[in-house]
Every structure is written in C-alpha cells, then in structure tokens.
Structure 1
Amino acid sequence: MNNLLPLPVLLPMLGAALTLLLGRRPRAQRAVSILTLVAVCAVAGGLIWITDNYGVQALWVGAWAPLGVVLVADRLAALMLTVASLVTLGVLIYSTGQDEEEVHRETPVSIFHPTFLLLSAGVSDAFLAGDLFNLFVGFEMLLFASYVLLTMGGTGQRISAGSIYVVINLVSSLLFLTALAVIYAATGTVNMAQLNLRFADLPPDVTLPIQLLLLVVFAIKAAVFPLSFWLPDSYPTAPAPVTAVFAGLLTKVGVYAILRTQTAIFPDRPLTDLLGWAALATMLIGILGAVAQSEIKRLLSFTLVSHIGYMIFGIALATPAGLSGAIFYTAHHITVQASLFLVAGLIERFGGSTSLDRLGGLASLSPVLGVLFFVPAMNLAGIPPLSGFVGKLALLGAGVEVGTPLAWALVAGSVLTSLLTLYTVAKVWNRAFWGTPMLGPHGPSDDGAVPGRLPGIMVAGTAALVLLGLTLTLVAGPLYDYVNRAALGLLGNSYIEAVLSGVVR
C-alpha cells in the first residue's frame, strides 16, 4: 500500500511534461490537467482510508534506507493532501473558463497548465516529505512554479509584486539551507524521525537556535506576524485562480511544516509562549489591516494573514485538543479562503472592479454571485453551524482547557478577530452587494474581461469549492473524530516507528 506514496508527486510532474508538449493544443492541455488532478484526488482519498485503518505508511524510495528519500503519509498528511488536491482541481476548473479570454491577450496560457501541475507536485511533496531536505525540495518546486504564475502576463504591477515575493522567498530558502547545514553538522542526518531521537541527546543551547531558525523560515512561508508583510502586496495582483491557489495552499504548507517539525522533531521543546504571542499578534494585526481596506482582494489578503493566527494558536497549545483544532481549521480555511478569492475574481469580471467604491447592487444583478460570496464569507466569520464555527469553537475550548494567562489572551483575541472578520465581510456585502447597481461605466476589469459576463465554467468551479466547504460542515462530526486521531498520532511515536522500522537509528 505504501507504493501509492510517490503518485501524488509523480502524476502531476508527468502531467506537466505532457501539457508542455501539448502547448499548441489548449483543449488537450486542459483535459490532461484535469484528469491528472482527478487521479491525484483519488490517490489522496485512498491514503486517508489506508492511514486511518492501517496506520502510518512510509516508503524509502529505491529501498535506500536510511540514506535515501523517505515519503511518509500519516492521517495529517493524507488529509492535507486530499483537501489540497480537491482545491487545486476546483481552481483548475475555474481557470479553464479564463482560457478562452486569455488566448486573445499576451498571457502565455500554454505554460499555465504545466506550471500549475508543477505547483501541485511541490505541494504534495512537501506534505509527504519525511526529511527536511525533501521538504526543502518540495518548497522550492512550488515556489518556482509560483514565481511563474505570479508574474504571468508581464504587467508592471505583477512584476513589481512578484519581485517582492521572489526576494522574500529567496531569503527564506537561504535560511532553510543554512538550517539544514547546521542540523546535519550537529546530528549527521536531516531525517525527521532520526532527528527526534538525536536532538533528545543534545543540549538546549544547540537545539534552541536550530528550532528558532526553522520557525523563522516556516513563519515567512506561512505569513506569521511580523513576517507577513509581503503577502498583502503580492497576492492581489495575480490572476484570480493563481491568487486562490496561493491563498488556499501556499501559506498552509508553511503551517503544516511548523506543525510537523514541532511535533516530530521538537516534541519536548514546543516554544509554546513564543508561538502563542505570534498567533495573537497575527490574528489581531491581520484583521485590523482587513478592516482598513476598501479593495476586496487586499481585504481578503489581510484576513488570510489573520486566520493563520488561529492555526498557530492551536499549535502553540501543544495539546491533543489544540492540535485537533489547528488541523481542522487548516482544512476548513484552505477551502474557504480559496473560494473567496475565486469569488473576488468573479466580482471583478462581472463588475469591472474589486474596489468597494466602484461596486454596488451585485446581489440584485447576479443572485448566484451573491450566494457564492455569502456562504464562504459567513463560514470565514465562523457563523454556526458552519465549519468555521466548529473549528473556532474547538480552539476556544482547547484554550480554556489549558487555562494559562496566555491561553486566555488567545481565546479573547480569537473571539475579537472573529467579530471583526464578521464586520469586514459584512462591509463587503453591504457596499458591493446591496445598494444601487453601479455596473457598466468603468469598462473592462483589470484582467481584461468584459463587465457583466460570468462564464459558466468559472461559476461551476467556484460553486464546487463552496460546496466543498459546506461538505466539511456536513461531515464535521466524523471529520473531527479523524483529526482527533491525527492529533494523537502526532503526539505519539507511530510516525517515528514507521519511518525507522528496520533502520539504524
């Protein structure tokens, strides 16, 4: 069964090669891309069932244990892989509605599909990586693809934003390489399971700087305050499907890396106070930035930063309940945030702008667009009984259970953040969807589309992700039982034992 582990990485890479060869046949490119991601979704779903019933699956590629690359799937990795695959599939379906528009302009559509599939391969590799170097490779794959996607079209605004994004991530990659060198020098390995054992024998003055360096690297990638300054300027300039997949996935890979390394490598030194204060600042400063915005994409970018704080909140508690809440909220947020950025793309296409000063009456002009925004917006705000409410309630309960002053501050901060999130999405609803219709006088939108037209395939892709978010609500009970088991697995030794079975430690 562990032979399935390479497929979520290999299938998108093979699909990327094939779509590159089909650059002059856009319909064939779309078919190959969609079929590839459908296959990845099927494999990821199978891994959920396998890991839940048969435990952690580990595969030493080429049987080169302990020197080779190890791929590992536990309940956490399988869940993240499944949700990520479903979201990338929905975004890809949405993007096919843009292709017909894009081919008449300068955007090189022929490279979108291979680059998008390479991004998917990098995300999958990061989720399945059993050693820090392979995690670095996964990050570099998805970052290389993201550089191309972010600057696609070559507009001045996109190049400027892409330059900031590239510089910040090059710095984080350099820091990551430095951390790898230091770790290997201190322990002779970068395998996470082996590091769990070897770091236990090292003094804190050796392990603490390494842990802090890794946290800085992953905090940059996850957009944790104060290392989140780059995100609001980078994401809004990209095309809607690119922004959606960035918002849904890239920061969550950083959160996943924090969660994985904190539990697998540093289980006895979790730095809970540092993470807790970072979570509180991320929630509050992010949402205050959102409150001040009058442009929908920038507003959503700040809410993205803010809600990363909820996930770090759960990790900082370092309890089974806290980790369960963090895992559940991460899965929920991937779907909801990607949905909202796709809706923002539809708003721009329909109304010609995403500025609240230039929109109005969208609910009467397009009730479907109103529903597509309203449902994930309420989910993001945590309105019961939606999945956002379930995740936030779980985190609040975990914080109350810990009961320290910092935990109570996090509980209060998360409640305030939720209320301000409701205020921000209500502001968007009142100004863009209520009021007097303002459609028409502003000409084409920033991405060249004609206002008032919503391609059906783009609506279908957005609706699919909105329904996926509602599905998480409908299966919240079984899903939460699953994430509880995943959290207990993180705090146990099953991951370490599966990787090191029969390997010299």
Structure 2
Amino acid sequence: MAATTSTPVDLSAALVMTPTALADWLVVLPPALMIGLGAVLMMLRHRIRLHGPIAIAGLALLVLIDALLLWKVLAEGPVTMVMGRWLPPFGIAFSVDVFGAVMALVSAVVALAAAVAALSDISDSGLRYGFFPFLLLLMAGVSGAFLTGDIFNLYVWFEVLLISSFGLLILGSEREQIDGAMKYAVLNLLGTTFFLIAVGYLYAVFGTLNMADLVLKVRSASGAPLMTLSALFILAFAMKAAAFPVNFWLPASYHTPRITVSALFGGLLTKIGIYALLRVMVMLFPLQTEELSLVVAVVAALTMVLAALSMIAQNDLRRLAGYAVIAGIGNMMAGIAIGSVAGLSGAIFYALHSILAMTALYLVIGRAAALTGQWTLQSIGGIYARQPGFAFVSLALFFAVAGLPPFSGLWPKIVLVKASLDIGAWWLAGSILLSGFLSTIALGRVFLFAYWRPAAVPLAVPARLDWRAFGPILALVLLITGFGLFPEWPLALSQQAAGGLLDPSAYIGSVFPTGGAQ
C-alpha cells in the first residue's frame, strides 16, 4: 500500500486567518441591507401599504450605519474587508476612506428624505410597480459604488444602480417617460460600455483591478498606455456625470418621471460620476490627470456657463432644475482640473452640497406644481400668497443653489475661485463666478414669476400644508443652512478626503497591512 503523507499548508499566505472584527462589517452592511430589504419588499408585493414604512425604517438604519462607518474611519483611518477571506488583490475588497464614507452618508440622508416625500407623491400604481424596492436597489448600487475597493466592482455597482434607475424612470408608463427613458438608457449604456472597455484594458495591462494594488503598479509602470486609459475613463465618467458635450441626455430625461424620482436622480446619480472621476483619476492616474487638466478645465467652464445660460432660457421648471444639476457638475470638474488639495476639497465640498441642494430643488419644484397645478413659469404664480412659509424656504434654497450667502453653496465656490487664482487660471475663476451670477438671475426669475407674481386665475388646489411633502424639504434646507453657517466641519472633512486621494498611503495600508501586494 502507498504510504499516506500529509504536508501542512500555510494558508496565511493566501487567506485572512483572523476573525473579522464586528465593527468591520459596517463596510459591507450598507449594500447588503439595501439588497436584503429590497428582497423583503418583493416578497410583500401584495401588501404595498407596508412598503413605505419598511423602506423608511431601512433607510433610517442606513443613515445610522453610514454615520457609524464615518466615525470609525475618522477615528481609525481607512478600513478594508475582503470577501471569502482571500487576501487582496485576489479577494474582492471593500475599502472605505473619509471620501467614500462621507459621500455614502450624505446620499443616505437624501434617500431617506426622498422616501418620506414619496408617501405623498407616488400613487398606488407606482407602489404596485415597485417604487420602494427599486429605491432600495438604487441605494444598494450607490452605497456599493462609494465603498468598493475594486474597480471592476465599481462597474458592477454602476450597473446595479442603472438597472434600478431604469425601473424608477418608467414608473407610470406614460409616453413622455418612455421617451425620456430611451434617451437616458442609450447614453448611459454607451458610457458604461466605455467604462467596461477601460476596465478590460486596465486588467490586460496590469493584471489586477484592486484599486490599492493599481496605485502601486501604475506608479512603477513604464511604457504602459496610461494616457489612453485615462482618456477612456474621463470620457466614461464625464458621460455619467453629464459634463459638456455629453450631457444632453440629462435635461431630456430627468423631467419625465415622478418628481421624487427626479429628485433622487438629480441628487445622486451624476455625483457618482464625479466620485468615480476623483477616485480613479486623482488616486490612480495623478500624472495623467495633471497633463489633461487644461482639457478638463475647459470642459468644466463650458459645462457650468452653458448650463447656467440654459437655466435662464427654460420655461419648464423641471428642465431648469436639470440644467442646475449640470451647472454644479462644471464646478466640481473645475476642482478636479485644479488638482491641488484646495481644488479637490472644493470639488468634494460642492458635491456634498449638490447632493442635498439638487434633491431639495426638485422636491420644491414638485411642491410648487402641486400647489398650482402647473409646471411652467408662464402659467404658475401666487405661491407666496398661498404659503409664505414654503416661499421663504424656497428662497433660501434658491440662494444656496446660486452660491449666495449664508448657505452651503457659497463656501465651495470661494474655495474653488481662490484655488483657481492660486494657479493663475483667472478665466476658470471667472467662469465659476459668471455661472453663479447667471444661476442667480435664473432662480430669481423663478421666484418673481412663480412665487411673487399673483396667480392669473384662482387656484382650485387646496393650500393645506402636507408635511410628508414639506418635511423633507425643510430638513434638507436646514442641513444646507447649517453647512453654510458652520462650514468648518464639512470643509475639514473635504480637505481630509482630498488629502487621502492625493496621498493614498493610508488607503493602501488598509488593504495591504504588510506593505505591498501579496
């Protein structure tokens, strides 16, 4: 008989041998919670009255989890958890730093606000067709995109949120919605295709998709087609973020769904494109980003100025809000083009502000339309006489969106203007100021026509205050005001996040505690 031998195998070279700390599960809990609750709601598809309370409770729990995750990252530094115990770069990593944690937290806050607003906006038909399951699946994709440490899984989470956004976009099945969904789908799928091509090319060159491992390999690469890869990623993410000249899909589609859906899209989806630009370009390809900075700066200036001009030209309030979203994207891309800690922190601060402000802007427009029964400036009027409190809150939001004091939109613009002047880009600073001035004119026109001007005909819609609609607006505007009056905390977080992108050593250390890829 052959002798049996047993050779001990050292699994520590390939696997994580120590148990995962309970607190580290916070890294993967947000997407897992959203997917799990979405499945629960699908099982309760015949009891749609339970969908709202369950989804709101789940999103409130998501806010708490993201707040705890941010607190952990601030206290201990970046945190990494790998799937299946396989050590990176072979195990799929969830890695979160200050940037990812703060973006996830603010996104969860606006999703909770939108879920509450949906109670008064989404009909029983929309609930039966799955509004709340789609919302939770969307947040699973958003959370996963902010928390993943693997660039292919960033693509996967993009697909998750795109699938759910298609479902949300066509709730109601009206002709206008189908038309908007087609434009949205074609352009976003095109951007996703460029993203996938870039990811495949990246893997072919470096043999890894772990972001921390890529940082190390790109730094030591010689002869690799880094400029081609950078251009592909910029094109893909610029389409996702709705930057000029690939932004025409946004104003053609965001005005078609229910206003709560538009609020979610305006607040969240384009910011994920900006997040991906910052994460991939600044952290992985810093030299190439610097070489392409003039191109990015020109795109940023054209994006913000042309969008602000388009705001003035709009008669439909929903289309006006879409161009306001695009104008904000230009400001964020200006920070990426500047590339310094100040420029990047201004872009991140503006992204946090824009998530809150754009969600609130769409909700305000929806409330104004509910009061008057109209969406166009030529037909709407008399809101101040009917609800002065709502008019005051709306005016504060308009000030914030335009970047006027004392609200949150002011400070990132000041940071971006100063950072532009520090590098001698006076024309970029002028574009930021011009965009803000034009946005002020556009939103002032909205207030004068829709709020201050008397209604042309008596309005039959009751002026009763619906707290399911007004409560989320008030909460978001209070947050925006708080960020404006006390900007130190969000500015400090933004600076810390920008520093982590420019010097990712702590991020790499959380993935490879021993100092390098295994």
Distance 2:282 2:34 in 1: 29
CA contact (8 A) 1:231 1:301 kept: yes
Distance 1:285 1:500 in 2: 45
Which amino acid in the other structure matches residue 191 of structure 2?
A: S
Which residue does 1:430 correspond to in 2?
448
Q: Is the alpha carbon distance of 1:23 and 1:226 closer, same or farther for their aligned partners in structure 2, counting shifts above 3 Å?
A: same
- 2:255 aligns to what SS in structure 1? helix
Which residue does 2:350 correspond to in 1?
329
Q: TM-score, normalised by structure 2?
A: 0.92
What pairs with 1:306-385 in structure 2 (closer than 5 Å)? 306-385=327-406
Which residue does 2:423 correspond to in 1?
402
What pairs with 1:119-134 in structure 2 (closer than 5 Å)? 119-134=138-153
Q: Does 1:185 align with 2:196?
A: no
Which amino acid in the other structure matches residue 227 of structure 1?
A: V
Shift of 1:458: 1.1
Which residue does 1:283 correspond to in 2?
304
CA contact (8 A) 1:236 1:297 kept: yes
In the comparison of the two structures, how many residue pairs are matched?
Answer: 491
Which residue does 1:488 correspond to in 2?
499
Q: Which moved more, 1:76-85 or 1:462-471?
A: 462-471
Shift of 1:42: 0.6
Distance 1:347 1:204 in 2: 57
Q: Does 1:40 align with 2:62?
A: yes
Q: Which has the larger radius of gyration?
A: 2
Shift of 1:267: 1.9
Which residue does 2:246 correspond to in 1?
227
**Unmatched runs of 5 consecutive residues or more in structure 1:** 444-449
Shift of 1:68: 2.0
Shift of 1:473: 2.0
Which amino acid in the other structure matches residue 363 of structure 1?
A: Y
String of CA shifts for 1:286-340, please: whole Å, max 9, x gaps.
Answer: 1111111111111111111111111011111110111111111110111011101
Distance 1:339 1:459 in 2: 10
**Unmatched runs of 5 consecutive residues or more in structure 2:** 1-22
- 1:253 aligns to what SS in structure 2? helix
- 1:130 aligns to what SS in structure 2? coil
What pairs with 1:92-171 in structure 2 (closer than 5 Å)? 92-99=115-122, 102-103=123-124, 106-171=125-190
Q: Which moved more, 1:86-95 or 1:261-270?
A: 261-270
Q: Does 1:252 align with 2:274?
A: no
Which residue does 2:509 correspond to in 1?
497
CA contact (8 A) 2:226 2:288 kept: no
Q: Which moved more, 1:63-72 or 1:278-287?
A: 63-72
Q: State the Cα RMSD in Å.
A: 1.6
Shift of 1:371: 2.1
Which residue does 2:8 correspond to in 1?
none
Which residue does 2:80 correspond to in 1?
58
Which residue does 1:447 correspond to in 2?
none
Q: TM-score, normalised by structure 1?
A: 0.94
Distance 1:219 1:235 in 2: 17
- 2:95 aligns to what SS in structure 1? strand
Distance 1:204 1:434 in 2: 63
Which amino acid in the other structure matches residue 234 of structure 1?
A: S
Distance 1:414 1:225 in 2: 15
Shift of 1:454: 5.0
Distance 1:481 1:188 in 2: 36
String of CA shifts for 1:379-436, please: whole Å, max 9, x gaps.
Answer: 0111112111111111111111122xxx211100000001001000000001111122
Shift of 1:18: 0.8
Q: Does 1:472 align with 2:483?
A: yes
Distance 1:94 1:348 in 2: 14
Q: Does 1:91 align with 2:114?
A: yes
CA contact (8 A) 2:410 2:484 kept: no
String of CA shifts for 1:220-272, please: whole Å, max 9, x gaps.
Answer: 10001111011001001110110001000000000000000122211222121
Distance 1:264 1:499 in 2: 15
Q: Does 1:72 align with 2:98?
A: no
